[in-house]
Structure 1
Amino acid sequence: MPHTRVAVLVGSLRADSVNRRLAESLREHAPAGVSVELVDGLDQVPFYNEDVDRPGSVPAAAARLREQVAAADRVLAVTPEYNGTMPAVLNNAIDWLSRPYGAGAIQGKPFGVVGATPTPYGGKWAHADTVRSAGIAGAVVVEDVTVSQSALEVDVLTDPEVRDRLDRAVAALVEFEAETAAA
């Protein structure tokens, strides 16, 4: 199996957030032949504005985001839910990754979303919105890669069942072949 790079977009900016810690644990538990790379600096990416998205003048943080995702084989969002939807920082990252239209860094990349929230719903609305947005942006959404977990039910960082679901989600994302989506 060739080496697979997974770019991880963390929807929470808080340094000690549960979702950042989940993302770090995914990196630590990555299967052999897989590197899980957290895309840092999302807080430095300005809100998307087509006026500043011009060849030669793209803000440096947005250019780094695009380069990291373009270099990856897969993209995984690890995100909480804010007010019933995805965090603005994640939406903004997807906006930048969707451009230029039809040729953005996320175009054709297998994409999944996992995460936890301290609510009974586990982030399912944020995850559904993230999947929809990424799909519209050109990503190939891998349906088997969604883990929405309530942090009220279990300690999401230590629960073996949650760990197993996260590991299976990463494996499904890595093993996904885009050709099978067309079949």
Structure 2
Amino acid sequence: MQYRSTGGSSDAIVRPAFFKSGMDSSPLLPAAGAKSRHSIFIYTEEQRGNQLVESLVIGMLSDISGSDKLVVAQDPHSGLKFIYRVDHESSNLDAAAITEHEPDAFNGKTSVQINAMSYRLGTAENAMKLLRGKTQWIQDKGAVLSVLLQNAAARKTRFASARIERDRMRKVPQGVPVEYLPT
């Protein structure tokens, strides 16, 4: 059983998820024919309903010391490229900023300034290594809202303030629909 997405201009396919539940390191695979692209499934709670959405991993950011590493993934509906802090313990991705850099800039050689700090734009392959093989993540909706508001106000790439400590969703509910990227 599969459904066409009704939201936005996307031709993505939505299928009910009759598979493993919880946070598993290999619960889903990208759509057939997508072996060369790097993607993850992000659980979102938003207007389109609670679902797992396949999103392209564009690359990563790393500060000069290598201690601060963030992943960049593109929202398939809005086209926004979110910079996420990775929380392996809770399997959450906390949006930290939005970037307008093109995927070609994530080559391991380009550097950018954000909040007066220099960050190197790393490759999608390195971003996938940072994710430690996990393909399923939970998007913290509070962090996303904070970043969207900050981006609207500042109109330039800036990191949102540090995350607020609160209870987090740690497992994706069983049977949520899965939206794959078009092939």
TM-score by length of 2: 0.26
Question: If each structure's helix is expressed as a fraction of its own residues, which one has the higher value?
Answer: 1
Question: If each structure's strand is expressed as a fraction of its own residues, which one has the higher value?
Answer: 2
Whose RCO is larger (CA < 8 A, sep 6+)? 2
TM-score by length of 1: 0.26
